[in-house]
Structure formats: C-alpha cells, structure tokens
Amino acid sequence: MGHLLFAALFIPFAIIVGELIHRQGKKLVFHALGEASPVAEAVATLLRIGWYLITTGLLLWNLGTTFRSAAWEPMLRDVSLRLGIAIFAVGVLHGLNILSLSLFHRKNAGATGPAE
C-alpha cells in the first residue's frame, strides 16, 4: 500500500514540476546561451531528459525498497520521509544546474563584453 501511495504522490509531482521547470528554465537557458543557439535547445532538451531520468530513478529506488509497516500512521511517516528526500535530492540537483548555467553565462558575458 505504501508503494502505491508514494507513486500516486510522486508521479504527478514529477510531471507537473518537470514541465513547469522546463518552460521557465528554457528562458534561462536561451538567455545564457543565446536565443538562436542550437546548443541552447540541446541543453534544454538534455536537462529535461535528465530531470525525468533522475525522478524515474528515485521512483524506482523507492518502489524497490520495502516499507516498514502496513499500519497507516507509520506508513504515512515513511512515505513522507521518502518524498521529502526525493524532492530534496531533485531540488539540490536542479540548483546545481542553475548555478552552472549562471556561471557559464557570466563567463560568456565577460568574454564578449566591451574591451577596456
């Protein structure tokens, strides 16, 4: 029962947040790498694929482990802990992606800026 509850909560989270991040993140990627850049489109696509690979891996990892109890209260606590860890892991990896794009943009903006 815990596996079904986890999947029922995690799958919609992964899809809704993934699509939201993709739509908004595409703007950041295009700004950092250039609107007409084929690299920007490739990076946006690879980040989207990476998101779904990571979330699928977290889902399968959690479904492959056993839940401690069939009673509702401990099961809800267990599912909450697993969801929290999975969401935290995805958030940290997403933050690292944003940081790397920001640093890459800053490096490129400095290289193409006016000479003093």
3 in a structural domain: no
pLDDT, the chain, mean: 82
11 in a structural domain: no
d(CA 63, CA 59): 6
Three-state secondary structure string covering 83-105: HHHHHHHHHHHHHHHHHHHHHHH
Average pLDDT of the segment spanning 35-58: 86
- On the question of pLDDT at 111 being above 50, the answer is yes
Q: What is the pLDDT, as a whole number, of residue 16?
A: 95
- On the question of pLDDT at 58 being above 60, the answer is yes
| Structural domain total, the chain | 1
Dump pLDDT digits (tens) for 2-21.
Answer: 788 888 988 999 999 999 98
Q: What is the pLDDT, as a whole number, of residue 112?
A: 57
1 in a structural domain: no
100 in a structural domain: yes
8 in a structural domain: no
5 in a structural domain: no
Dump pLDDT digits (tens) for 63-94.
Answer: 877 766 678 788 788 888 888 888 888 888 88
91 in a structural domain: yes
Angle at Cα 54 formed by Cα 53 and Cα 55, nearest 5°?
A: 95
Query: Which residue range forms the structural domain that includes residue 48?
Result: 16-109
Q: What is the pLDDT, as a whole number, of residue 116?
A: 42
- On the question of pLDDT at 43 being above 60, the answer is yes
